[in-house]
Amino acid sequence: MNINEIKDPKFLKKLSKKELQDLSTDIRKFLITSISKTGGHLSSNLGIVELTIAIHKVFNSPKDKIIFDVSHQSYVHKILTGRAPMFDTLRQYKGLSGFQKISESKHDPYEAGHSSTSLSAALGLAIGRDMNKEKNHVIAIIGDGSISNGICYEALNHIGETKTKLIIILNDNNMSISKNVGALHNHLDKIRSAKDYRNVKTKTKELMSHIPILGKPLYKGIKNLKNNFKKIYLKEGLIFEELGLNYYGPINGHDFDELELYLNAAKKSNAPVIIHVITEKGKGYPFAENDRQGKWHGVGPFDKDSGTIINNNPDKTSWSEIVSDSIIRLMNKDIVAITPAMENGSKLTKFKQMFPNNFIDVGIAEEHALILANALSLENKIPFVSIYSSFLQRGYDEVLHDIARMNSHVIIGIDRCGIVGADGETHQGIFDLTFLLPIPNIIIASPKDSIECTNLIKTAINTKSPFCIRYSKNKIDYKKTKPTEIKIGTWEQITEGSDGTLITYGDFVEESKEIIKKLKKDKINIELVNARFLKPIDTEYFNKIIKKNKPIFVYEESMKVGSLGSYLKTITNKNITIFGIPDTFVLQGKREELLKELELDTNSIYKKIKNEIRKAK
Ligand SMILES: Cc1ncc(C[n+]2csc(CCOP(=O)(O)OP(=O)(O)O)c2C)c(N)n1
């Protein structure tokens, strides 16, 4: 069928099983072709095709509210709700979002991007529904990776007590981005691989042939089947039942008969239900099916026939790679690398292979990762927590209350700082400086290049304080020299200049050289400063800059409020011009496009500095 012609999911109600299967094949082809051009979350969406179709067949969106956790796997939902024609703009500037968006469709009742919010959101929508005396269903679809996060236990704890009617669909593909971890995962694994799962499937088929498709007998039949499964095959209790939910499953998430049967039964239940659905991540695209690293979870454009991911910048290296390689170069027996489920994105696989006993993947558990690191440091270990800037938002209190307050020797590698591009507003790394700068004891550094990065990591290893090293998603040249420590709180002059000073850090140091060159052609000489330490700052150097009595500019890929510039303003009454991100959420797009929109591209900064200097002269 022509996927682009789908307007809304109503058409699914009339489709036969064969037609549903054909539709799944067509949607998979569409996803592979489309994502190969734009990039996007491929594997998770390929795995959830039948499940999403079945949900839309059984329920009535938008009256029934369907929430996808993280919502990186909501592409099939987007297709079924009439958004296929926009897929060539997926994750691009002003294009279709890669996540659910309330403004995009009446079929998107909630928004996310960060994981594990769907159960709390579903309960909120369900309690609100009951207060409004409405009758709609609320369905949350959550992956086995995301359900391991602490927020979900807060929500389950509450759901189990209120017994509010809602449906949780646990999409268990045995994978987070890479292989899932943890005791809950092991519990699900046991259920999934119970040798009798096949037996349950046969029984499901049997059940279907004996009972009418709707009504009480169906619900009863399922309950019996579930109880039998539990009694006979599992020695311990099912965790969700112990928490007060009705558990159905495990069921085959690629089989329409099973899916419809259990979804219809859940519809009949007046209590909270969790349906455990087994799916295969990457299904239908062999390269993604066989991926255990998470390479095909979120992917850039690729050649769909050969499975070759296009690398536009083969000579450059990602900051994540440089950081993890530097840790390997500087490795000692006490260093412990910790990741909250981002082994692949943080480029820690090589470290894990080389030092398996010094590597910990805690799953999607940012808060836990940070407290764990803090306690490890109390045992004289040197934890290195690699965490994306936007996910560090989850760990704020742990950085403040635990790590900084106890002044512990924890190194936090803050990855994906600045504009991250296609993931958009939930993932922009533009807030960390604002929330970290006021915290006492903490050292915050942003290297300008790979050599400075390795040197800062060496400094961090040898400094018994909380030490944050910030770096972006960009790729740069990887140069190696013998690592040497950098004196804490020192800045570096990059160019001399008597007409004014431009203070910047991170990738903007290199990019600002172009601004300085252009200004020079206009006979404006600006001193360029690499403020590699954002805290503590180089007070001596900054005082010299103040004494020059010339315009001072601070150029940052960070929120203006709480930026380095605003911090500097608190210690001088001199006029400082801050070029930073205004009070707005930055949407999706390429970094260059977004910097231009924010007037933070080098050309805009060049023009602004030129104007200011001319005014000052
Ligand atoms: C708070 C937070 N941490 C990390 C991530 C990065 N992330 C996005 S999807 C994902 C894995 C989700 O796994 P699962 O829930 O099993 O879904 P699947 O993709 O396997 O369907 C992770 C770690 C995130 N979005 N939010």
Q: Where are the domains of the chain?
A: 3-286, 317-476, 492-616
The SS3 call for residue 610 is helix
Q: Phi/psi of residue 429, each to 5°?
A: -95, 60
Q: How far apart are CA 252 and CA 259, in angstroms?
A: 7
- Spot the catalytic one: 226, 347, 394, 448: 394
Q: Is 281 a catalytic residue?
A: yes
What residue's CA is closest to ligand 1, atom 21?
44
Helices (H) and strands (E) in the chain, counts: 24, 21
What residue's CA is closest to ligand 1, atom 17?
143
> What is the whole-number distance in angstroms between the Cα of residue 116 and the centre of ligand 1?
8
What residue's CA is closest to ligand 1, atom 22?
177
Q: Is 206 a catalytic residue?
A: no
**Angle in degrees, CA 131, 134, 138, rounded to 5:** 95
pLDDT at 198: 47
Q: How far apart are CA 514 and CA 612, in angstroms?
A: 18
The SS3 call for residue 326 is helix
For a substitution probing ligand 1, which of 70, 398, 415 has the most ligand atoms within 8 Å of its CB? Answer: 70
pLDDT at 190: 83
Quickly tell me which residue has 């592979």 as its tokens.
Answer: 32
From residue 84, alpha-carbon distances to 2, 134, 396 in Å are: 10, 31, 38
- Spot the catalytic one: 83, 267, 281, 473: 281
In this structure, the number of other CB atoms found within 10 A of the CB of residue 349 comes to 15
At the second CATH level, the architecture of 492-616 is 3-Layer(aba) Sandwich (3.40)
Between helix 256-268 and helix 197-210 the angle, nearest 10°, is 70
Q: Which atom of ligand 1 is nearest to the CA of 391?
A: 1
Any ligand 1 atom below 6 A from CB of 143: yes
From residue 560, alpha-carbon distances to 65, 229, 264, 396 in Å are: 37, 57, 51, 19
Q: Which atom of ligand 1 is nearest to the CA of 69?
A: 15
Superfamily designation of domain 317-476: Thiamin diphosphate (ThDP)-binding fold, Pyr/PP domains (3.40.50.970)
> What is the whole-number distance in angstroms between the Cα of residue 176 and the centre of ligand 1?
6
pLDDT at 207: 58
Q: How far apart are CA 193 and CA 284, in angstroms?
A: 22
Q: How far apart are CA 565 and CA 14, in angstroms?
A: 61
Cis peptide before 109 (omega within 30 of 0): no
For residues 113 and 70, is the Cβ–Cβ distance under 8 A? Answer: yes
Q: Is 231 a catalytic residue?
A: no
What residue's CA is closest to ligand 1, atom 13?
176
Q: Which atom of ligand 1 is nearest to the CA of 149?
A: 1
Any ligand 1 atom below 6 A from CB of 532: no
> What is the whole-number distance in angstroms between the Cα of residue 241 and the centre of ligand 1?
24
Q: Phi/psi of residue 402, each to 5°?
A: -100, -65
pTM of the model: 0.95
The SS3 call for residue 459 is helix
SS (H, E, C) 398-442: HHHHHHHCCCCCCEEEEEEEECCCCCHHHCCECCHHHHHCCCCCC
Residues in the chain with pLDDT values less than 70? 194-237
For a substitution probing ligand 1, which of 192, 364, 389, 415 has the most ligand atoms within 8 Å of its CB? Answer: 364
Any ligand 1 atom below 6 A from CB of 115: yes
Residues 6+ apart with CB under 8 A from 122: 65, 67, 138, 139, 140, 155, 166, 168
pLDDT at 237: 61
Q: How far apart are CA 65 and CA 605, in angstroms?
A: 46
Max Cα distance, the chain (Å) = 90
**Amino acid at the residue 337:** A
- Spot the catalytic one: 321, 366, 398, 425: 366
pLDDT at 292: 87
Q: Which atom of ligand 1 is nearest to the CA of 47?
A: 21
> Which top CATH class is 3-286?
alpha beta
- Token couple for 448: 């300008």
For residues 425 and 375, is the Cβ–Cβ distance under 8 A? Answer: no
Instruction: Please tell me if the domain spanning 3-286 has the same topology as the one spanning 317-476.
Output: yes
Any ligand 1 atom below 6 A from CB of 392: no
DSSP code of 292?
Answer: S
**Amino acid at the residue 396:** Y
pLDDT at 209: 56
Q: Phi/psi of residue 492, each to 5°?
A: -140, 135
